[in-house]
Amino acid sequence: MEKAIAMTACGGLLVYDLGPLPPAGEGCVLELSLTLEQVRPETRTAVALTLTELDGRDMEYPRGMRTLLVPAHHDEGPRDVTVQNIRFLLPCELSVGGPEGRRFRVRYERQCIDCPAVCELTQV
């Protein structure tokens, strides 16, 4: 479903009820989790995940992308942070799997947001 929403002024809060969302047929939900190792204190982390589905010849078909901003922790030193409930909705109509079922490939990466690093730019 799709709805157009317009905002006439900047600032404030816009609340809009999208209305009912009927069932969209059969499918499944792929729920992932991951652990960010050695996250420094007071540092937010961006995570990007891309999901593709593989057919019988290992050809890839895009199925979704998620970007997340993981909030900073406030411990004394670096620690591992677990991110859970990363969901992808996978309608049956898009399946390219055969009788053996559906196969997926996930690519993921992370980037520190609040790094104190400074890059000096030189004029060319």
Low-confidence ranges of the chain (pLDDT < 50): none
Question: pLDDT tens across 84-100, in order?
Answer: 999 999 988 888 988 88
Distance CA 110, CA 64 (A): 17
Distance CA 121, CA 124 (A): 9
Distance CA 122, CA 124 (A): 6
